[in-house]
Structure 1
Amino acid sequence: MFDRLKAWAKRIKRDGVTLWFASRHPAVPWLAKALAVFVVAYALSPIDLIPDFVPVLGYLDDVVLLPALIWAAIRLIPAPVLGECREQADHWMSQQGRKPTSQVGALLIVAIWIGASLALWQWLIKPWLGS
């Protein structure tokens, strides 16, 4: 059981990098590219949308949300292109020994947190203060 989970996690990690290559491939449909860019920005961001220290929810995005998004994006990519991008991902990961990081993804997560904070202020806190 543990070996199967370990292999699954390795495939998810590889497919995250695969989407990184697929987002740049000219034969990938625009919807798949858009989803791939979003997933890659989120998956490779050094900042989580829900921090891991938040009980249960912190790991929920890593265990449920991210694999579901990767699965959806992979399904939109044509099989020959997917195979090519997986080969590129395997080669890149064997050369680098790690997954890439996304500064754009980090900025996206920070922007979401700022937007959520401003919305919280506008709808909950500001009316309560009577302003």
Structure 2
Amino acid sequence: MLTLSKLRSWAKTVKDNILALYLSARDERMPALPKWLALITVAYAISPIDLVPDFIPIVGYADDLILLPLLIMLCVRITPRDIWSESLAAAKRGNAPRLTGGKLAAFVIVIIWLSVLTTAVLGIV
């Protein structure tokens, strides 16, 4: 049975992993593909805009409960082990920068999502 303590532990693990992905993406030893995938995952995690809006019952949170952990697992698998272990240790120690989406970050994310949406609509038409 899923208890509140297990849920809190899972949420802390996801938070640590997102922070570790951010730290690993900033590492100069990180290859390009894992770096970009990590940045996309972090941006999606802190983005105020979801693929499926949260106000839609049940399905609204499915992308956060399914897509985000899958993206994290993929990033962890393709990130070099030494970089990942160092980044995760730093994230767990708590001496890493705090990830907050400021107004500028929100603006950039909205522009990116609008660009993706525009490209998708123009590709369909």
- TM interval, short-chain normalised: 0.7 to 0.9
Residue in 2 that maps onto 1:53: 55
Letter in 1 for 2:112: A
TM-score of the superposed pair, with normalisation by structure 2: 0.76
TM-score of the superposed pair, with normalisation by structure 1: 0.73
| Alpha-carbon RMSD | 2.8
Contact conserved, 2:34 with 2:78, CA < 8 A, in 1? yes
Query: What whole-Å deviation, never above 9, does each CA across 1:100-127 have from its counterpart, x for those lacking one?
Result: 336446533453246536828x84xxxx
Contact conserved, 2:25 with 2:38, CA < 8 A, in 1? yes
Residue in 1 that maps onto 2:64: 62
Residue in 2 that maps onto 1:111: 112
Query: Greater Rg, structure 1 or structure 2?
Result: 1
Cα drift, residue 7 of structure 1: 1.5
Matched residues, number: 120
Residue in 2 that maps onto 1:82: 84
Query: What are structure 1's unaligned runs of at least 5 residues?
Result: 124-131
Contact conserved, 2:90 with 2:96, CA < 8 A, in 1? no
Q: Which moved more, 1:43-52 or 1:64-73?
A: 43-52
Cα drift, residue 28 of structure 1: 1.7
Structure 1 runs, 4 residues or longer, greater than 6 Å off: none
